[in-house]
């Protein structure tokens, strides 16, 4: 009697089998340890409150980017990772499953796992090797550009996965405290913070007029919330979540202004 023929795809090499066994044992051990050492909700809440009152965290706690003519904002991946670390007994991350340079896309996994409750949030998605620009989509071929694009898209999915695993009340309180901390600033007087924001933006080519347009009122009327908003936008631009021109669209120049015929009448 002939032995059944197995296809190459059904055969598993020894090294692969060992790795699969190791990974399975590691998972079981992680869950067991987490369940034997449960988190303290009271300690996690107290540490979260302390962390969110630190300006260094608050200034990175939010993101902002334009989409379909609107500004999308919310808690950032930096805050999500910090809260997951404090909450304890959680694993999270992203993994590039495949990369197809011919199709110009990568397949990426983003996941967050509460080991103590053995509850997991994960998403597999396709990341196109393209970037949106003012002139339309740009194909990415440089390996570094592809890596950064995948990391950026992966961070967005990872952020959602982590927040899906954290209690809603825990996240809501952290966001509220971070907003208060950001508005209060780092102890510097409001006028000095206003001037610092103007100076920082000037270094990247954003004028005071553009800032006043964004805030909707002149510099002398800015308050703590206005400065906090500018700080969130500045951090988002610095992290590459949106470009400077997306945050502060350059003024449109009319044909009359180009030809010098706009504004004043002709002189003899």
Question: Does one domain contain both 219 and 167?
Answer: no
Indicate the range of 64-73, 90-99, 176-185, 230-239 predicted with least confidence. Answer: 64-73
- pLDDT score of 9: 46
What domain range is 194 assigned to? Answer: 186-256
Question: Does one domain contain both 109 and 78?
Answer: yes
Domain boundary among 175, 196, 215: 175
Question: Does one domain contain both 102 and 152?
Answer: yes
pLDDT per residue as tens digits for the range 224-260: 888 888 888 888 888 777 778 778 877 655 555 555 5
Which is higher by pLDDT, 170 or 28?
Answer: 170
Domains of the chain: total: 2
Tell me how far apart the alpha carbons of residues 75 and 58 are, in angstroms, rounded to a whole number: 10
Question: Does one domain contain both 52 and 154?
Answer: yes
- Determine the 3-state secondary structure of 215 from DSSP: helix
Domain boundary among 175, 199, 219: 175
- 17 in any annotated domain: no
Domain boundary among 146, 175, 204: 175
66-73 CB contacts, 8 Å cutoff, 24+ apart:
66/242, 66/246, 66/247, 73/232
- 25 in any annotated domain: no
36-39 CB contacts, 8 Å cutoff, 24+ apart:
37/89, 38/89, 38/116, 39/87, 39/88, 39/89, 39/116
């Amino acid at each position: 009697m002939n032995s059944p023929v197995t296809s190459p795809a059904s055969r598993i090499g020894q090294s692969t089998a060992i790795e699969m066994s190791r990974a399975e044992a590691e998972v079981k051990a992680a869950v067991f340890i987490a369940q034997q050492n449960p988190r303290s909700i009271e300690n996690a809440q107290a540490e979260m409150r302390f962390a969110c009152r630190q300006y260094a965290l608050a200034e990175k706690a939010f993101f902002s980017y334009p989409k379909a003519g609107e500004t999308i904002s919310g808690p950032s991946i930096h805050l999500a990772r910090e809260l997951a670390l404090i909450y304890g007994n959680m694993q999270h991350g992203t993994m590039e499953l495949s990369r197809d340079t011919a199709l110009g896309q990568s397949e990426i996994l983003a996941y967050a796992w509460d080991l103590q409750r053995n509850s997991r949030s994960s998403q597999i998605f396709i990341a196109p090797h393209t970037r949106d620009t003012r002139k339309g989509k740009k194909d990415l071929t440089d390996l570094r550009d592809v890596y950064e694009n995948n990391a950026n898209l992966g961070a967005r999915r990872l952020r959602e996965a982590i927040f899906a695993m954290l209690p809603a009340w825990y996240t809501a309180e952290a966001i509220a405290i971070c907003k208060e901390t950001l508005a209060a600033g780092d102890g510097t007087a409001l006028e000095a913070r206003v001037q610092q924001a103007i100076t920082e933006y000037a270094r990247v080519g954003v004028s005071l007029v553009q800032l006043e347009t964004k805030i909707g009122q002149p510099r002398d009327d800015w308050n703590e919330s206005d400065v906090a908003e500018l700080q969130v936008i500045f951090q988002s631009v610095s992290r590459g979540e949106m470009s400077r021109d997306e945050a502060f669209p350059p003024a449109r120049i009319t044909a009359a202004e180009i030809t010098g015929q706009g504004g004043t009448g002709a002189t003899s």
